[in-house]
Structure 1
Amino acid sequence: MDLDGKVALVTGAAHRVGKAIALALAGEGAHIVVHYGGSVDAAHATADEIEALGVEALPVQADLSQPETINQLFEAVEARFGRLDVLVNSASNFMKQPLDVVGLDDWQITMAINLQAPFLCTQRAAPLMRAVERPADQPALIVNITDLAGLYPWRSFVQHGVSKAGLVHLTKVSARELAPAIRVNAIAPGPVLPPAYMDPDGEAWQRVYAAVPLQRAGKPEHVAQTVVFLAQNDFITGAVIPVDGGESLLGAANH
């Protein structure tokens, strides 16, 4: 897919990995819907950076745990652009809790954000994507940002890991059901950013990235580059691509 003039919706685009993805797609000429939850100032700052690249940016607030606000998000996309070519489900929460202390509320909010929301966004995106006439060899694209915790049983990331494992399977099911008009792929990042609870200059974060085969931390831009690659390579669907410095080679042993 040539991204020039296309429309991409990136959830969680106000900061961190989502912002890097939004900027990378904008750099290829795509107009960007900047979804955000509560980070209004960061979202508008990201929108300003996107517009400085010569494309349009539409910041839209939505609580992804609420189906009705997801509907409003897609109504805003349709009203402004009338089309959607790329959806990146990047928004996520990241709770670290041992299994025996996970409360029902903790479980439900994680599933709502990490799994239910990508499912509902995929459902809403599909008809909007199919409504656009496009060459058969240039289908629309959905990219789910999953996690290595969804591939391996990490300790103390119970609901997070289960939600991301579900997202991996949702990716594959969606890829089969939505083909050939829409491709669906996933990216499983490794240590490209420290989690919010970890000091980026601390020893704990250094131990995390030093343990992977490449022995260094990645950057959000590495994930963003992979999203652009998936948009431009029209013969990949149902794939789960690790962008992790080789961490996936270690399996569950690294956590």
Structure 2
Amino acid sequence: MRLEGTVALVTGGARRLGRALSLGLAEAGCDVFIHYRSSPDAAGRTAEDVRAVERRAATGAADLTVPKQIDGLFEAFDAAFGRLDILVNSAASFERTPFDEATVSEWDAAQALNLRAPFLMTQRAAVRMRAVTERSGSRGEPWAPGVIINMSDMSAIAAWKGFAPHGVSKAGLLHLTAMTARELGPEVRANAIVPGPILPPPGETEKDPAWREKGRRVPLGRTGDAEEVAHAARFLAENDYVTGATIHVDGGEHLLTGGRV
């Protein structure tokens, strides 16, 4: 897919890794719709930065754990843009939950945002992506499949103590990626990215000894940065013969867990 002139929707696209994904796609030529839940100022700043590279930008708020709000988000998207080519499911929670103490509500909350929301977003995105391919085909124009990119993490592969609801939701997201690729091809491709030590957790900085130690542990001997994840997302958007794949952007961290995808 040539990204120039395409349209991407990035959930959680206002802050941290989501912001890097929004800007990386904009720099590659995409117009970007930036979803946020409760950070309108950050979404506005990210939209301004997208426009600074001469791409269109719009923002929309939704609590993705509420299906009706997902429908409302797509209504706002449709009002802003006339097509959808790329969906990045980046919005997620990351809650530590001791196994013996996890409640039903904590379990359900993790699944609702990290797994059910990407599924519902993908369902709605696929309708719009297929419409693009149908219009192109009816005109005899070249077309490329729509693209879904799901953002998982290492808890999907390694059994992290204290993160059972989260880890199960992220493991489910990897299988959802495979199911999406199988069910929706050839009109839609679906792939996943598993970042490693990319951004320090809230409250830490890149200079903190604990964060530096995380980088020293991985085979490449350093932490990464969000732009390296955005570069992987661009590759997955551009390469029309990749679907159902999971790319690790982790400096080789997955090699230490014994996990395989």
Q: Partner letter of residue 166 of structure 2?
A: H
User: Which amino acid in the other structure matches residue 190 of structure 1?
Assistant: G
* 1:190-223 per-position Cα deviation (integer Å, ceiling 9, x unaligned): 0001222545432222222221111111001111
Counterpart of 1:207 in structure 2: which amino acid? E
CA distance in 2, matches of 1:164, 1:215: 25
Q: Which residue of 2 aligns with 1:138?
A: 144
| Aligned-partner SS, 1:24 | helix
Structure 1 residue 4, shift from structure 2 partner: 0.9
Structure 2 equivalent of residue 96 of structure 1: 96
CA distance in 2, matches of 1:163, 1:136: 37
**TM superposition score normalised by structure 2:** 0.93
Q: Give the superposition deviation at 1:24.
A: 0.8
CA contact (8 A) 1:142 1:184 kept: yes
Q: C-alpha deviations, 1:148-177, integer Å up to 9, x for none? A: 110121111111110000000000000000
Residues of 2 paired with 1:125 and 1:212: CA distance?
36
TM-score (norm 1): 0.95
Where 2:257 maps in the other structure, the secondary structure is helix
SS at match of 1:172: helix
Name 1:71's counterpart in structure 2.
Answer: 71
Quick check: 235-244 or 194-203, which moved more? 194-203
Residue 181 of structure 1 aligns with which residue?
187
Alignment: residue pair count: 253
CA distance in structure 2 between the aligned counterparts of 1:161 and 1:171, rounded to whole angstroms: 15
Note the 1:113-128 alignment, pairs <5 A: 113-128=113-128
In 1, distance between residues paired with 2:80 and 2:40?
19
Pairing of 1:128-207 with structure 2 (within 5 A): 128-132=128-132, 133-134=135-136, 138-196=144-202, 198-207=204-213
* Counterpart position of 2:40: 40
Partner Cα distance (1:189, 1:136) in 2? 33
Matched AA of 2:6: K
Residue 147 of structure 1 aligns with an amino acid whose one-letter code is: D
Compute the displacement of 1:29 (Å).
1.3
Structure 1 residue matching 2:199: 3-state secondary structure: coil
> Using the alignment, how far apart are the partners of 1:195 and 1:120 within structure 2?
28
Output the CA distance in 2 between the equivalents of 1:252 and 1:156: 19
Which of 232, 237, 242 is the matching residue for 1:231? 237
2:255 corresponds to which residue? 249
Instruction: Write the distance in 1 (CA, Å) between the matches of 2:190 and 2:108.
Output: 25
**What is the alpha-carbon root mean square deviation over aligned residues?**
1.4
Question: What's the counterpart of residue 22 of structure 2?
Answer: 22
* Cα displacement (A) at 1:106: 1.6
Moved segments of 4+, more than 6 Å: none
Paired residues of 1:199 and 1:205 also in contact (CA < 8 A): yes
Give the conservation status (yes or no) of the 8 Å contact 1:143–1:187.
yes
